[in-house]
Structure 1
Amino acid sequence: MTERISKEVVEKLMHAPSACKEAVQAGERYLEAVGTPEEEAARKALVEELKEDVTDIDGLIAFASSPAGEAVFGKEGAEATRKAAEAAKAGGEHYCICDACQAGAEILREAGEV
């Protein structure tokens, strides 16, 4: 059996305001399946969902620099997000700095995927 993903980090993902509905649902299914015969399948489903969802830091920088990012964050928010992402990248961060991506990346590390 593969190692379990920690409950705390899954809950962190599920409570992140930026987490998408599918990631939250995959987290819920995983936590419900822990200790049951369905655990491994739920774990794999969570990992696959997060492989699709977790954005790398360059993706965040590009998004925050785009008209779509400005539409989501507002002009000042997009600029602040871009600057924060660039600072995080300069500090060695590889993933988006939102709570959902940070928790998702932690789960992927625990699962041996990154």
Structure 2
Amino acid sequence: MTHTQLTELVRALLDAPTSNETVKEFAQSWIDAEDTPKQAELTKQLVSVAEQNIALIDETIGFAGSERATQILGKEGAAKLLQHAKGIKAEGAEFCDCPACEAAKNIIDLKAEIV
């Protein structure tokens, strides 16, 4: 894996609108540490950060059916998310397919090349 490819993976985490603040801060720190020993240390943590922040599809379904989802997304938005999550689970999805989880999944899938 090239440094450019790794940077693209980290930038995807940063740019995903559904990434939480902890992930965004980590990704920004990684980018800000370009060409420093700190970046190498953060790279060692990257897969762990991705693994800790990817949502299993059942977690997404649980969230989508919650009052919190209704508060955040509105009744219609929560219902759409719930329907979508159940649909992709029925098709065999193991993880949420939002941009943040997709970015995390890409990192996890390439962990042998990253570590």
- What interval of TM-score do these two structures reach, taking the shorter chain for normalisation? 0.7 to 0.9
Alignment: residue pair count = 112
Q: Deviations over 1:5-39 (max 9, x none)?
A: 62222211111111112211211232344554334
Paired residues of 1:60 and 1:96 also in contact (CA < 8 A): yes
Paired residues of 1:60 and 1:85 also in contact (CA < 8 A): yes
Structure 1 window deviating more from structure 2 (16-25 vs 33-42): it is 33-42
* Structure 1 CA distance for aligned equivalents of residues 26 and 47 of structure 2: 9
2:31 equivalent in structure 1:
31
Alignment of structure 1 residues 8-47 onto 2, 5 Å: 8-33=8-33, 35-47=35-47
TM-score, scaled relative to structure 2: 0.80
Q: Deviations over 1:32-89 (max 9, x none)?
A: 4455433432013333322222111110001101111111111111110011111111
Alignment of structure 1 residues 30-109 onto 2, 5 Å: 30-33=30-33, 35-109=35-109
Structure 1: runs of 5 or more not aligned: none
Q: Deviations over 1:80-102 (max 9, x none)?
A: 00111111112222111211111
* Structure 1 CA distance for aligned equivalents of residues 91 and 33 of structure 2: 37
Paired residues of 1:11 and 1:27 also in contact (CA < 8 A): yes
TM-score, scaled relative to structure 1: 0.81
Identical counterparts, % of pairs: 29
Q: CA RMSD in A?
A: 2.4
Whichever structure has more helix as a proportion of its residues is 2
